[in-house]
Amino acid sequence: MYRLLIVEDDKGIAEAIKNQAEMWELQVHCIENFRNVMTEFAEFDPHIILLDIALPFFNGYHWCSEIRKVSKVPIIFISSASDNMNMVMAMNMGADDFIAKPFDQSVLMAKLQAMLRRTYDFAAAVPVLEHRGALLNTGDNTLTYKEERISLSKNEFRILLILMENKGKVVSRERLMEQLWETDSFVDENTLSVNVGRLRKRLETAGLEDFITTKFGVGYLIEN
């Protein structure tokens, strides 16, 4: 079942789209916290997004730009501000389509379905993992926090990936070494410690202190 994220502050419009989309067997989530759209985006991990321009706190262009830093998920703008300037700006910000309000629900659903077919008949959705506002994009192996892209080595990325995939659980050093072994690099206890130490320093430099917790004699943990 494809997941649709609706970023629309008019509850009447959002609910109408949600009800229609669910009839087309889409799983739908409407943004509730317009101060921090990215957290709900990461938690819901949508296959497609409907995004209004005029929103509380930050406009749709801002959130389109933020999403594009971590994901290639299709974005369709829906707005009554449908003049050429806004359409061109939306496309330049990374949108895939623009639908003017008011619109016919059946036309909107047809456009959604067409976009989903074009996108996912050829490629799988790329998950984004989130913790404390940091977004780990498994599509291009990047970590983004407060609009800053944090450079990670291949081993650092793999360590962070397995820890975030198992958030709330202790991951043993042995399991981490097995994960790194798949990179065709020899990994021993000291190499793992060095990699974790470097990863911690990168995270701390970016403002993510105590992101990884050590369970001495057991392994490492990212706490909920």
pLDDT in tens, 175-194: 888 777 655 455 567 778 88
Look at residues 70, 72, 67, 220 and name the one whose alpha carbon lies nearest to residue 158.
220
Look at residues 46, 70, 39, 43 and name the one whose alpha carbon lies nearest to residue 132.
39
What is the per-residue pLDDT for 209? 93
Q: Average per-residue pLDDT in the chain?
A: 85
Tokens 């060095």 found at: 194
Q: Chain centroid to CA 134: how far?
A: 10
What is the per-residue pLDDT for 169? 92
Mean pLDDT to the nearest integer, 154-178: 89
pLDDT digit string, tens, across residues 34-62: 998 999 999 899 999 999 988 999 998 88
Alpha-carbon span 169 to 147, nearest angstrom: 28
Long-range residue pairs from 142-146, CB within 8 A, at least 24 positions apart, any chain: 142/70, 144/69, 144/70, 145/206, 145/207, 145/208, 146/206, 146/207
Indicate if the pLDDT at residue 6 is higher than 80: yes
Per-residue tokens: 172: 């043993």
Mean pLDDT to the nearest integer, 6-16: 93
What is the per-residue pLDDT for 28? 95
pLDDT digit string, tens, across residues 83-141: 677 777 777 778 888 888 888 888 889 889 888 887 776 545 557 888 999 998 876 77
Mean pLDDT to the nearest integer, 139-157: 83
Mean pLDDT to the nearest integer, 183-210: 81
Taking the whole predicted model, whether its pTM rises above 0.85 is answered as no
